[in-house]
Amino acid sequence: MNSSAKNNTKVVWITGASSGIGKATALAFAAQGYSLILTALEADWLETVKQQALQSGSPRVASLPFDLSRLEELPALAETAWQQFGRIDIFYNNAGISQRGTTVDTEMRVFNKVMDIDFYAPVMLCKTILPKMLAQGGGQLAVTTSIAGKFGFPLRSAYCSAKHALYGFYETIQAEYYQQNIRVTIVCPGRVQTNISVNALEKDGQKHGVMDKGQAGGIAAEKAGRQICKAIIKQKREVFIGSKELIMVYLKRFFPGLTAKIARNISNM
């Protein structure tokens, strides 16, 4: 029996699926024969990904465009996602937004928006999906954090805060529900060629609108998506995605003082 035949009843819900890492991971799962639920802000982009996923081998694809900053409506979104195919085996919280601005200059509304989309939205969605997974006998939660969730970067105070918080939330779920067959995969990217820097919020909430030099030099989103899909299927606890910049994670572990000195001198990530 090939992998597509084995996986055609398994359902993966991916947020931030219209482009970048989310799209690439969705297409990687499609090639493995998984059914997909796709969520992102851009309905037309999602429809394109849906058609590509069907062509890549996914037997069923549902498109659920949504603005994840509408927190009060997220429980209803999660219920709708579950009802698409009557179950969700893997829920990958990938959607997120970044920020560019010093701590003093960045307005509180920017902090609020970043925290809403990057932290509170995943928490609220998980609060609806997790009990359903427990009732069905288990499931897997995955989330995109960042190496910015491992230590602070200049001009990223809101973003780093949200990504650090995700580690605490998902590691706690793993500790609480592992014996009930809930698995957690934390995806920790470094530099990946996506539009996250283009769509990042400036200190006043305006779009950054520029592909940062570090972002442009990152690995291709398609490569990242294949690695993430493989890690989730293998139920890895944590996976690092990127290139030479990932050395910072290991430096932080063994040489925290040196890491702090390097971070103080980072000009462009």
Where in the sequence numbering do the catalytic residues fall?
159
Which residue is associated with the tokens 């590691």? 171
Taking a C-beta distance cutoff of 8 angstroms, is the pair 114, 97 a contact? yes
Residue 78, both tokens = 């999660």
Residue 59, both tokens = 């037997």
Residues in CB range of 149: below 8 A, 6 or more apart: 160, 163, 164, 166, 167, 188
DSSP 117-166: IIIIHHHHHHHHHHHHHHHHT-EEEEEE--GGGTS--TTBHHHHHHHHHH
Among 210, 211, 196, residue whose Cα is nearest residue 147: 196
Distances, alpha carbon 183 to alpha carbons 144, 196, 197, in Å:
15, 27, 30
**Alpha-carbon distance 244 to 259, whole Å?**
14
Residues in CB range of 188: below 8 A, 6 or more apart: 145, 146, 147, 149, 150, 238, 239, 240, 241, 249
